[in-house]
Chains A and B, each alone.
Chain A
Amino acid sequence: MAEDADRTLVVTEIARHQARLRGFLRCLLVRPSDVDDLLQEINTVLWQKAGDFVPGTDFWAWASQVARYKAFNQIRRYGRERLVFDDTLLEQLAEAASVKLRDLDRRRAALGTCLEKLSPPQRQLLELRYAAGQSVEAISQSIGRPAGSLRQTLYRIRAALQSCIEGRLALAEDAP
């Protein structure tokens, strides 16, 4: 019975940390299309290793170690056919990602508010890119702007959103 309860806990935690795990992998894998495939492999491993997790301890610390191990192995396999970041750089990126991901839920909540502050053209571009799922090249053709210029605009929009998110997180921490 106790084992069942532990497994139940792990299942719940796996589901709860999907966005965090996906974000973590996104920081390590160059191609976004690789992320979901690897995420499902990691989910399976976490499930199979559920018995290793000690209830009451930090699930994210455990899961992110498993994810890191699996990701590095996968990236090494990718490295046989294409150029990938080396292990040292990956370790550095993983470390930076882990820190940011600890408060992912608060970042997500702040993002909702920050999106409201974008100008209509900025919102429209994000809508095309993320809601409609269009490639930058497709957007470029439909609105007649160079793809390189659009990528820079998207970069700036994300930077503005990032700044807004950090501002809101800082504000929340300062609040009594």
Chain B
Amino acid sequence: MNETGSPEDPRDRGQRQKEFVARLIDGDGDPADEVSAELADLLRDSPADRETLVEQLLLDSLLRDELGSESLSALVDVVADGEPGSQARAAETQATDDARYAAMTGKTGMTSLTGRSRPRHSPPRANARRWHTLGWAGAAVVGLATIIIGVALRDPAGAASAAHVIQVAEVVHAEPVERVYLVDVVREADATANLVPPRDVRVATQGDQFYVEMRRGDRHWFWGRDAAGAIWMTVGRKNAIVVDGVEQGTALRYLGDLYTLNLETLLSTFRRTCRLAHSTGSAGAHVIEIMPSVTAERGGIRRATIEIDRETKAVRRLVLEREFRWYGKSTATFTLVETRPADKDRYGPHGHLDEPARIIDRATSLSERRALLSQWFGSQANRWIRVPEESHDAR
């Protein structure tokens, strides 16, 4: 019955129910009390309406999990705290927390990680010095070659064309020299959600290889992406998790795309497939504006600006404006902060781990890896590994 005492039209009831559910879910957490009250009246005698509400709420929860940005901040912030969940630290004592980690690591055959809060210093590795020597020797040789190539590639008119400048940079970046870039990412989603966590993200590159160091305070962790697209992440000093490309959930793929810097391929792609505009730049650098002719489906680069040092011929600043499906626009600025000899081990997980180290890959069950990711990167990180659709639900 409606307010006038006449029988209620089922269409009106259905419409009201939809409106109330929509306001409940998308009223941004502050629905008026009357919405709850009226909806409760509708739901009490209608199992079908209750089921619809539950379906909508569960889907809302799943969509927040699948598309939300929490895991990204979890990676940056939560791991930095070494805590198993973004809010867990507020609810648990340190003693409980340590026990939890100890238990977790015991389960996966790892040693206790309860000492994780101490600043970590990498022990000297046997081959580090050798690479150091070889690296600088190689750099000297290749540096000389670069000068020669640079001269050879000089534009006859005297002003190097944008393509020439990039081509020389490609050669320079193939040297056995590691260049470290400080990364500043501004995401549209961060701006709208006021979600700009403090972070220090650095990408080390040599040729097409790269690894990322994320740091906050005295805590840091590493991750990278191999040639086959698998993402590895260190979890403490003894373990790393590897997630193959086909297993990667949307959020992890996005994160990988956002920070990946395969500089050699990127420069080559710019030179071969993009429109280049060579600005005058500063006294010390060429500045080249890059407009992709064809938008890559992955990576989503819409525009790039690259600064190449006139003396060293290396990229000293790169700005990538991109648009990712589901995650919107972002601008990533890579600024050269350090040049050092390359250490090839550090482009894989072993280079960041103390022996005996364990690489947790597909040989470890999906549920165990997801659990470990959740423990380290926050509860939402379990979606970084996709559940194959054909798999049966794990209770």
Contacts and interface: CB of A to CB of B under 8 A. Distances in A.
A54 interface: no
Nearest to B375: A15
A7 B101 CA distance: 11
Contacts of A83: 33, 36-37
Contacts of A159: 56
A172 B36 contact: no
Interface string B33-73: 10011001001100100110111111111111111110000
Interface residues of B, number: 85
Contacts of A155: 18, 21-22, 25-26, 56
B382 A18 contact: yes
Contact of B33 (A82, A86, A133, A152): A82
A11 B327 contact: no
Q: By CB atoms of chain A within 10 A, which of B26, B29, B99, B389 has the most?
A: B26
A51 interface: no
Given A11-B375, A109-B388, A39 B36 contact: no
Interface in B16-36: 18-19, 21-31, 33, 36
B302 interface: no
Contact of A132 (B30, B192, B372): B192
Interface string B214-243: 000000000000000000000000000000
Interface in A87-112: 88-89, 92-93, 96-97, 100-112
A12 B87 contact: no
Contacts of B59: 111, 158, 161-162, 165
Give the one of A12, A22, A107, A159 with max B CB within 10 A: A12
B234 to A, nearest CB: 19
By DSSP majority rule, is chain B's interface helix, strand, loop, or mixed? Answer: helix
A19 B383 contact: yes
Q: Which of B22, B68, B328 has the most CB of A within 10 A?
A: B22
B245 to A, nearest CB: 15
B58 A40 contact: no
B87 A27 contact: no
Contact size class for A? 35 or more
B85 interface: yes
B391 interface: yes
B189 interface: yes
Nearest to B250: A112
Interface in A31-48: 31-33, 35-37, 39-41, 43-44, 47
Most chain B CB atoms below 10 A, which of A31, A129, A131, A148: A131
Contact of A16 (B24, B44, B325, B367): B367
Nearest to A83: B33
B28 A137 contact: yes
Nearest to A48: B96
B23 A151 contact: yes
Given A43-B88, A105-B391, A26 B61 contact: yes
A111 B64 CA distance: 12
13 contacts: A16-B371, A16-B394, A47-B96, A85-B43, A101-B58, A102-B393, A105-B394, A127-B326, A129-B63, A152-B18, A154-B25, A154-B26, A162-B56
3 closest cross-chain pairs (CB), A and B: A151-B22, A130-B67, A18-B379
